[in-house]
Amino acid sequence: MMKHKGVEYMVAPTATPGVWRWQFQIGDLVKTGRTETRISLLAMRRVQLRINRELKKASAQPTPPHRGREAVAAAG
């Protein structure tokens, strides 16, 4: 296992030359896939870029507004 930005990921060759399988997990989300390249470092870099995209998506999702006592009192 390797780590990129705190996310553990795995890249492994398949039986087909030049095809790599990869996997990583962010929270409950598990992503898997394949990439085609003869260069192992390029396969790793592609997974790292994918991790970056998923982290960016996760941070861009809006969080529900906090309803403190003031909001509950005003609504009630």
Q: What angle do CA 38, 2, 23 make, to 5 degrees?
A: 70
**pLDDT bracket for residue 59 (50, 70, 90):** confident
Residue 66 clears pLDDT 60, i.e. is over it: yes
Query: 36: which residues sit within 8 A by CB, 6+ positions away?
Result: 18, 19, 20
Average pLDDT score over residue span 1-16? 96
Higher pLDDT pick, 60 / 33 = 33
Summarised one tens digit per residue, pLDDT across range 10-53 is 999 999 999 999 999 998 999 999 999 999 999 999 999 999 99
Chain-centroid distance, C-alpha 16: 25
- φ/ψ of 36, rounded to 5, equals -110, 115
Residue 15, token pair as written in the block:
């039986």
Answer left, alpha or beta for residue 48, where phi above 0 means left and psi between -120 and 50 means alpha.
alpha
